[in-house]
Amino acid sequence: MQKLNVVWLRNDLRLLDNAVLCSALQHAEKSAAAILVLYVATAETWVLHDMAAIKQDLLRRRVLQLKKELADVGLPMLAVEGSSYQQLPQIFSTLCQQFELNVFVQTEYELREQQRDEAVEQLILKSGGQFIRFDTQCIMPPGSIRTQQGDIYKVFTPFKRTWLAQLQANGVHCVGRPQKITQSELQLPEFPPLQGGDGSSAGWDVAESSVLELMRSFCREKVASYHEQRDFPAVDGTSRLSAYLAIGVVSAAQCVARLQLEAGNSWSEDKSGAGIWLSELIWREFYKHILVAYPQLIKHQPFQSETAGIRWQNNKQLFDAWCNGNTGYPIVDAAMRQLNQTGWMHNRLRMISASFLVKDLHIDWRWGERYFMSRLIDGDFAANNGGWQWAASTGTDAAPYFRIFNPVTQSEKFDPQGDFIRLYVPELSKFTGKSIHWPHGAGLVNYPKPVVDHAEARKLTLELFAEVKKTHAN
């Protein structure tokens, strides 16, 4: 039987810095195996995971583009339309009838992904092949950053300190582009070919070269002012790489390597633009490490277990007003409309709108987590769960529950001229100056009245949290 090394791609959809692909190639060379890159779309599981339509489209477009990029270096790709994760063993079993398989994959940490991989691994082992995992989602693999006592960090700042010490000690390593290969055409079984998407992500370039250029130009031209601009949604001051990092068109290691190249030593300064951008990439790693160490998070349980008892009010009408950007709080509405219209939301606005849902509307943070996932092009379980638990004060290194964002003050501070609000809330287009942050009164007809009173809502939040803290203390 012909030997075949299968590189089963998931959220590592790139040629450069792809250790899974490179290792499979090296192994194939030594063992005289052929090589095949595989991608299986699993639309039913995506729906189960609330994956946004725009992210599904981005994935499909990226895979079809990657197929062409792989062909340029002689690598064949099989892009298959599957249904759910349950179908994977069947696909591999069909391949096993024809080939002696070794399978190379990037480790995924979530529950269904682990179960899926175990099922396929059993099948491959039974057939005499190997199932080889590579822990390449993070620069420092989960479990590798520990306290002197060997524990996992629950707080970001000391995690970051140790993470940076490891970076200083070991540097960051990226794997190069695979060499062009020639192999005779594989006779593969028939599978349903990957379908195109709905085109909703068309504004996002999916060529690997374009994404690399976006990352490189950000490091070259914008990162120096990141610390001054990153909090202002009307300014294009952040990298906009999240969607690409989430599906692995670019890796975090590539970002850090380029940052070090372009920013001199400033990346190691806490308060420089480069230093703060690096911190954001470390937050990304922190949340993945936490997810692996505390698997209850994968089941949407709060990290601080006592907060499971909070009496969320879960008013469906208020939830709908929030989802649709009709709360009467202009910055929240602009944020939600940005999400609904573009599939992306600025980080400052994610914090404001998440805080508003939980602490002004008293709605369970999991409703918001799910809604974000169903709309975000960059939906990433660890970052989304971490962000929501931070905002809800239920997480590892969360905002203390008594620190409650005032949406109007936040708006005045981070959208001072109202430029961002005017972009997404046309009802307020005629407002200038400070009144745009609280436009109520003054003959306003077609914009919703505020759905809650912030001061009252704040009081109730404090009571709800005090209640569970008290029960816990007893």
Site for ligand FAD in 219-238 (CB under 6 A): 230, 238
Size, binding site for ligand FAD by CB under 6 A: 28
- To ligand FAD, the closest distance from the beta carbon of 390 in angstroms equals 6
The answer to whether 307 and 394 have CB atoms below 8 angstroms apart is yes
- Residue 283 contacts ligand FAD per CB under 6 A: yes
Nearest 5°: the CA angle 356, 359, 362 is: 105
Closest residue (Cβ) to ligand FAD?
A: 387
Burial 455-474 (b: 16+ CB within 10 A, else e): eebbeebeebbeebeeeeee
- To ligand FAD, the closest distance from the beta carbon of 418 in angstroms equals 21
Cα 314 to Cα 304: distance, rounded to the nearest angstrom: 20
- Residue 391 contacts ligand FAD per CB under 6 A: yes
Contacts 24+ apart (CB under 8 A), 152-158: 152/289, 152/290, 152/293, 153/286, 153/289, 154/290, 154/396, 154/397, 155/396, 155/397, 156/282, 156/283, 156/286, 156/396, 156/397
Q: Report phi then psi at 103, rounded to 5.
A: -120, 135
* Piece in contact with ligand FAD (CB under 6 A), picked from 136-144, 194-202, 387-395, 444-452: 387-395
Q: Is 139 helix (H, G, I), strand (E, B) or coil?
A: coil
- To ligand FAD, the closest distance from the beta carbon of 279 in angstroms equals 9
Which residue of 14, 160, 350, 359 would you call a contact of ligand FAD, by CB under 6 A?
350
Q: Is 34 helix (H, G, I), strand (E, B) or coil?
A: strand
Contacts 24+ apart (CB under 8 A), 349-354: 349/233, 350/387, 350/391, 351/387, 351/390, 351/391, 351/405, 352/405, 352/407, 352/410, 352/411, 352/414, 353/322, 354/387, 354/388, 354/391, 354/392
- Dihedral angle at the C-alpha atoms of 407, 344, 400, 421, nearest 10 degrees? -10
The answer to whether 214 and 239 have CB atoms below 8 angstroms apart is yes
* Piece in contact with ligand FAD (CB under 6 A), picked from 3-11, 140-148, 276-284, 416-424: 276-284
CB of 5 or CB of 137, closer to ligand FAD: 137
Which residue of 178, 325, 330, 379 would you call a contact of ligand FAD, by CB under 6 A?
379
CB of 88 or CB of 249, closer to ligand FAD: 249
The answer to whether 63 and 42 have CB atoms below 8 angstroms apart is no
- To ligand FAD, the closest distance from the beta carbon of 425 in angstroms equals 20
Could you give the string, one character per residue 147-186, with x where binding to ligand FAD holds by CB under 6 A and - elsewhere? ----------------------------------------
CB of 104 or CB of 204, closer to ligand FAD: 204
- Residue 415 contacts ligand FAD per CB under 6 A: no
- To ligand FAD, the closest distance from the beta carbon of 331 in angstroms equals 14
Which residue of 241, 297, 318, 358 would you call a contact of ligand FAD, by CB under 6 A?
241
- To ligand FAD, the closest distance from the beta carbon of 372 in angstroms equals 6
CB of 54 or CB of 281, closer to ligand FAD: 281
- Residue 246 contacts ligand FAD per CB under 6 A: yes
Closest CA to 168 of 256, 91, 101, 230: 256
CB of 102 or CB of 201, closer to ligand FAD: 201
Which of the residues are catalytic? 280, 283, 312, 347, 365, 388
Binding stretches for ligand FAD (CB under 6 A): 230, 238-242, 245-246, 280-281, 283-284, 287, 347, 350-351, 354, 372, 376, 378-380, 383-384, 386-388, 391
